[in-house]
Amino acid sequence: MQKFQIPIKDCIIPMYDSVLQDVLEHKHTHYTFPGGRGSTKSSFVGICIPLLIINNPNVHAACFRKVGNTIQNSIRAQIEWGIFKLWLERFFQIPKVYSSPITFIPTGQKIYFLGLDNPDKVKSIKPSFGYIGITWFEELDQYSGDNEIRKVIQSTIRGGDKYWDFRTFNTPISKNNWANMYVDRAESYSKPTLVVRNTYLDVPRDWLGEQFIEEA
């Protein structure tokens, strides 16, 4: 399938322009985004995943939250937002049941949504073709630690030569939080991890609204 190109103006903030190019060119494997509310980090991943699905016809995605009943208003909402923001809704089948996968109609690729409070569901993911080459762990600090993440990745990766792993979270106050410690280690690696830090101050004011900025 021909590579999909789309103008990204008004989809992502300017500082993410080069990051999106990095993602689409697969320059890194792991992309970690620590930041506060309003930094648009989750919205950015909501743009990245549909674009990666379209441009890699053998790849499926799995998006995770620690607790399953938080999926609808978080990772699921962000992916749907990304699809509509990119004007791609006619190419995706979006079921009303929030735990059901979203399907890219031309190829049948899936975007799965799972909570890790039911680990058996993770083991049962078996796409009918291709492999799960994209994972997204939202609110990383809410997981029990790096071992839990590794177990999930070991369950999902089966074949394939390209892999993208997104991790997003609001930076905890405690430096001893495992997610903060993970980021500190990751920033010392030249590869395969890219860490991108930003705040609401990097976002155009009209995207957030004056009320949000006042509260922030």
Alpha-carbon distance 204 to 106, whole Å? Answer: 35
Q: What's CA 70's distance to the chain center, in Å?
A: 15
Q: pLDDT digits over 111-156, tens only? A: 999 888 876 677 778 888 999 999 999 988 888 888 888 888 887 8
pLDDT at 148: 87
Say whether pTM exceeds 0.85: yes
Residue 19 and residue 44 in contact, taking contact as beta carbons nearer than 8 Å = yes
pLDDT at 208: 56
Nearest CA to 92 out of 68, 69, 70, 76 is that of 76
pLDDT at 210: 62
For the chain, which ranges sit under pLDDT 70? 1-9, 38, 119-120, 189-190, 200-216
pLDDT at 1: 41
Alpha-carbon distance 127 to 85, whole Å? Answer: 26
Q: What angle do CA 131, 144, 76 make, to 5 degrees?
A: 50
**CA atoms within 13 A of residue 22's CA, in its CB half-sphere:** 21
Q: Are strands 92-93 and 102-104 parallel, antiparallel or unpaired?
A: antiparallel
pLDDT at 203: 64
